[in-house]
Amino acid sequence: MSILLNKDFTFIVQGITGREAVNLTRECLDYGSKVVGGVTPGRKGREVHGVSVFDTVAQAIENHGSPIDGSVVTVPPAFTKDAVFEAIENGIGLIVVVTERIPRLDVAQMVELADERGARIVGPNCLGLIAPGVCKMGGIGGPAKDAAKAYSPGSVGVMSRSGGMTTEISSTLTAAGLGVSTAVSIGGDAIIGSTYAELMPLFEADDQTQAIVIYTEPGGRMEAELVDWRSEAGSELPIVAFMAGKFMDDEEMKGMSFGHAGTIVEGAEDSATQKIARLQDAGIPVVERIDEIPGAVKVKLAVGAPAGARGM
Amino acid sequence: MPERDAIFIGIVVDDSIAGDAEMASKLEEVCPVDIYADADGKVEIVDENVDECVLCELCIQAAPPGKVVVKKLYDGTELKR
Amino acid sequence: MRFYEYESRRIVEQAGIPVTEYGFAKTGTEAREAAGRIGGPTVIKSQVLTGGRMKAGGVKFADTPEEAEAHAEQILKLEIGGHMPVGVLVDPKAEVEHEYYAAVLWDGRAKRPMMLFSDMGGIDIEQVAEDHPDHVGRGHLSNLHPIPDFRAKEVIAAAGGLTGRELTRATPILASLARLQRDYDMTLAEINPLARLSDGSFVALDAHMEMEDEAVGRHQRVLTEIGVELDQPRELYEPSDFERNVKAIDDADHRGVIQGKDHGFVGDLGLVIGAGGGSLTLTDAVRSQGGKPANYAEIGGNPSVAKSKGLAMEVLKKDGVEKIAVMMSIVSNTRVDIVARGVIAACLEMGRDPAETIAVFRIPGAWEEEGAKILGKYGVEFRDRGTSMWEAAGEAVEKVQGGAGS
């Protein structure tokens, strides 16, 4: 199995008539995902690659005739909060927010409402998620043939703050024969709907997933949260980490912002060096190079289970 | 005949459609990177945009067969129908 | 967006938090007038977005309006940490009985704002939290529900057991600060010190506000009303020509995004790299293998040929840059062939041989076959996903050092 997605997973695209949304709709359909409707206010009656467009989420659900599992939201920042609220209040359980540059308060409000209603948000500022061979939700991996090339079904769960690096890492896992169970582009902002620690229980419960790879950057406290979760839950699912942006620890770079909006060094607490130490102290190896990831995963798998015990 | 070779891309518009007002407006509309301009009913090629061509072939489809040709100067091949 | 002290003062005042009478002055004459209006001894403070004002002589005390004018004229000419002041703040020398600390800031882990209050203000709050944790009250706020006063009261009551008039007077101030943080999208709303004066009243003596950049647009009207000049310089450092030029190229065309920075970089290898995470990874990979990047860059969102070309030209114009490394993590939106056209065109326009100038081109993904053909024509080798990011970075470092070495 994969996490969050399955063969029958249905979703809509909010903002479906936008340029990027048209592309990702096409990509998802080509991959075999069930895109069952789209929403752009004022554009009811149109079609995007054969997908019907509605004015409201409620209309899309009514047209579908049964509940819809998910929504990919790709509308301008000023309208994103309302679109996500609309999805949540119409009973949609998994919402991928692609939009970037959304003010933090809006994100925090979406996340709080999702918590109150039992929904989950992935993102914002992310490319979505993919269960190789099962379902692709969002622009992750690009066109269906490119996504198929980089993501083969396998045993490793991937969580990454960078959308592009999700594909780069998955491609190395694919090339090494390990493959990917589910890859989640979690988003690069300071506040996101689903952190490493919040997704870990799902991977833990998934029997396809034998190991986890995380990609991280300076800024935020998500690694500390992951480490705490691991010890509290007593989880032994092996994790391998990669930390980008070590150069930002240099004195002359202090106070500058690079990469994602959330990648702002606010002091020693958030430095790359300290994050690496924190992860390594918790038994999570941090590799220096992306191309070392498959080897480190294989070492972890060999340690975690004697030969033959963990085959797929 | 309107014809322009930039560094990577060349565009050839056949004389038979270059003065056609309908074609001029259609080419201007379909090209996502504004390579064509409708100059008072005549097809005009916008020099600085030629190398921005994304090889979408919308202009080729919009014109009658063989009347618009997109040349890939870097490998000597042509896109046309 | 960071605010100058006088702007923060106005924002706090606007939110109904009491402040002392004060004046913002851009000339010595204005400072004298403000000091006269305030009456009594005053403090003249340089308005710069940098620390260490006191040490640098940017804060001076005046007994008379004439003295205030003289000090202001000096301070207005004084550069501090590479920044010229935008004016001076004229404050009364307040009769302070006790100093407190109040702040509201984001707790990213809880995904909620957190209120902080301490009865030990005026000093470094991190030190207080470490040495006297029982003197720091904390409390989270909902993002959705109204902010009630009692939440602020609970936080204050937890700070060293504050009670009595101190508690009842500070409560509305912390609650107002919490509403201000939400209403104005502040990443940090801090009053330090919050002072109790000899008459028992509370005033915000110094406030520090930072508004989230993404939210500045929706507060433009109210910021203008308060008198915030949005075009004033607020960067931590002066942008370089390279940074300014890259930004201008990016702003001129809506297709895709390019960014370039060179503050803190001194090197000979020009980087034309992307995207967000890829750029961080590649910059590390170059440095870890002994390379010296001349800059940092990010390409993303499928930029036009002109934009990629613009970035590559700006990198090549930098002093000492003979070669560029063009590298990205696997792309699915940005097109390999478009970036290839951009960097080749940049070399040609600057009269450089692409085969010599491009140390490595490693961008796997969308339209890579087409990209490889373009590069091939100009003698540049194309590296696909078979070459790792680390290996590509290493190859670039080797070529630069091989070329520059003995």
Task: Answer yes or no: is pLDDT of A34 > 60.
Answer: yes
Summarize pLDDT for A235-249 with one digit per residue, the tens. 999 999 999 999 988
Closest CB to A103 among C109, C185, C287: C185
Chain A CB contacts of C264 below 8 Å:
250, 252-253, 256
CATH number for the A10-304 domain, one of 3.20.20.70, 3.30.1200.10, 3.40.50.261, 3.90.600.10?
Answer: 3.40.50.261
**Rg of chain B's alpha carbons, rounded to an integer?**
11
Active site residue A49: no
Are C271 and C393 a contacting pair, CB within 8 Å?
no
Integer Cα distance of A26 and C302 in angstroms: 17
Residue C320 confidence (pLDDT): 93
User: Could you tell me the end-to-end alpha-carbon distance of chain A, in angstroms, rounded to an integer?
Assistant: 12
Residue numbers of chain C with a pLDDT score lower than 70: 233, 236, 403-406
User: How far is Cα A249 from Cα C280, in angstroms, rounded to an integer?
Assistant: 12
Does the CB of C276 have a partner CB in chain A at under 8 Å? yes
Name C146's Cβ contacts closer than 8 Å, sequence gap at least 6: none
> What CATH number did the domain enclosing C105 receive?
3.30.470.20
Of the partner residues B7, B55, B75, the one whose CB lies closest to the CB of residue C348: B7
- Which residue from C263, C281, C389 is facing A256, i.e. has the nearest CB? C263
Residue C258 to chain B, least CA–CA distance (Å): 16
Q: How far apart are CA C231 and CA A178, in angstroms?
A: 53
Distance of CA C341 to the CA centre of its chain: 34
Residue from the list C214, C300, C385 with its beta carbon closest to the beta carbon of A77: C214
pLDDT tens for each residue of A182-228: 999 999 898 999 999 999 999 999 999 999 999 999 888 899 999 99
Q: Residues 26..65 of C with a Cβ closer than 8 Å to A: which?
A: none
Residues C396 and C261 occupy one common structural domain: yes
- pLDDT (0 to 100) of residue A254: 61
Which of C124, C332, C370, C397 to probe the A interface (max A CBs under 10 A)?
A: C332
The answer to whether residue B54 scores a pLDDT higher than 70 is: yes
Q: Cα distance from A247 to chain C (closest Cα, Å)?
A: 6
pLDDT of residue A218: 86
Asked whether residue C43 falls in the same domain as residue C136, the answer is no
Note whether C331 contacts A142, CB cutoff 8 Å: yes
Q: Give yes or no: residues C191 and C255 share one domain.
A: no
- Say if residues A130 and A86 touch (Cβ distance below 8 Å): no
Write the residue in C335, C348, C377 that is nearest to B74 by C-beta: C377
- Alpha carbon of B74 to those of A235, B12, C298, C341, C368: distances in Å? 55, 16, 27, 10, 14
Answer yes or no: do C108 and C179 share one domain: yes
Q: What is the mean pLDDT of residues A79-95?
A: 98
- Residues from chain C contacting residue B5 (CB–CB below 8 Å): none
Chain C neighbours among A 245-284 (CB < 8 Å)? Answer: 245-248, 250, 252-253, 255-256, 258-261, 263
Supply the DSSP symbol for A269. Answer: G
Confirm if C140 and C112 have CB atoms less than 8 A apart: yes
Residue C298 lies in a domain: yes
Q: Does C348 sit within 8 Å of B8, measured CB to CB?
A: no
Chain-centroid distance of CA C5 in Å reads 16
Of C226, C256, C284, the residue at which a domain comes to its end is C226
Question: What is the structure's pLDDT at A260?
Answer: 44
| CA nearest to C214 within chain A | A103
Query: Cα C272 to chain center, whole Å?
Result: 24
Q: What is the pLDDT of residue A175?
A: 97
Nearest-neighbour CA in chain A from C226: distance (Å):
21
Which chain C residues are closer than 8 Å to A275 by Cβ? none
Residue B43's Cβ-count burial label (10 Å; 0-12, 13-18, 19+) is buried
Q: How confident is the model at residue A255 (pLDDT cuts 50, 70, 90)?
A: low
Cis before C92? omega within 30: no
Alpha carbon distance A51, C394 (integer Å)? 46
Q: Which residue has the tokens 């009303």?
A: C225
- CA distance, residue A174 to nearest chain C CA (Å): 12
Residues C191 and C271 occupy one common structural domain: no
Instruction: Identify the band that residue A267 occupies on the pLDDT scale cut at 50, 70 and 90.
Output: very low
Chain B interface residues (partner C, CB cutoff 8 A): 7-8, 33, 48, 51-52, 54-55, 72, 74-75
Nearest by CB to residue B51, choosing from C305, C335, C376, is: C305
Residue C184 shares a structural domain with residue C279: no
- Residues C263, C371 within the same domain: yes
Q: In this model, does residue A139 exceed pLDDT 50?
A: yes
Q: What is the pLDDT of residue C406?
A: 39
pLDDT tens per residue, range C277-330: 999 999 999 999 999 999 999 999 899 999 999 999 999 999 999 999 999 999
Residue type present at position A153: P
Residue C1 lies in a domain: no
Share of chain A above pLDDT 90, in %: 83
In this structure, the answer to whether residues C267 and C337 fall within a common structural domain is: yes
Enumerate the residues of chain C whose CB falls inside 8 A of the CB of residue A139. Answer: 332-333
Query: How many independent structural domains does chain B possess?
Result: 1
pLDDT at residue A257 in the model: 56
pTM of the model: 0.92
User: Considering C162, C193, C226, which residue would you say is the last residue of a domain?
Assistant: C226
Contact C374/B74, CB-based, under 8 Å?
yes
Per the domain annotation, does C16 fall within a domain? no
Assess whether pLDDT exceeds 90 at residue A30.
yes
**Quick one: C56 and C144 in the same domain?**
no
Which residues 6+ apart lie within 8 Å of A158 measured at CB?
A: A166, A169, A170, A173, A180, A182, A183, A184, A212, A213, A214, A215
Cβ–Cβ gap C370/B55 under 8 Å: yes
pLDDT for the residue C128: 85
State the CATH number of the domain containing residue B29. Answer: 3.30.70.20
Q: Which domain holds residue C305?
A: 241-404
- Chain C residues within 8 Å of chain B (Cβ atoms): 304-306, 335, 337-338, 341, 344-345, 348, 370, 373-374, 376-377
Catalytic, out of A120, A136, A161, A260: A260
Backbone angles phi, psi at A257, to 5 degrees: -115, 140
pLDDT of residue A19: 80
C116 and C160: one domain? yes
Residues of C in contact with B51 (CB under 8 A): 305, 341, 345
pLDDT band per the 50, 70, 90 thresholds, residue A310: very low
**What rounded mean pLDDT belongs to chain A?**
91
User: Domain with C273 in it: what CATH number?
Assistant: 3.40.50.261
User: What average pLDDT does this structure show over A27-49?
Assistant: 96
Best of A101, A115, A165, A189 to mutate (most C CBs within 10 Å, chain C)? A165
Phi, psi of C143 (to 5 degrees): -85, -20
When pLDDT is cut at 50, 70 and 90, the band that residue A312 belongs to is very low
Q: Does C102 share its domain with C197?
A: yes
C109–chain A nearest CA distance, Å: 6
Cα dihedral A245, A247, A249, A252, rounded to 10, equals -130
Q: Name the residue range of residue B35's domain.
A: 3-79
The CATH number linked to C44 is: 3.30.1490.20
The pLDDT of residue A261 is 36
- How many domains in chain C? 3
Q: Which residues of chain A from 5 to 44 reach within 8 Å of chain C, CB to CB?
A: 20, 23
A193 or A305, higher pLDDT: A193
- In one letter, which amino acid is B15? D
Phi, psi torsion values for A181, nearest 5 degrees: -80, -60
Nearest CA in chain A to C332: A142
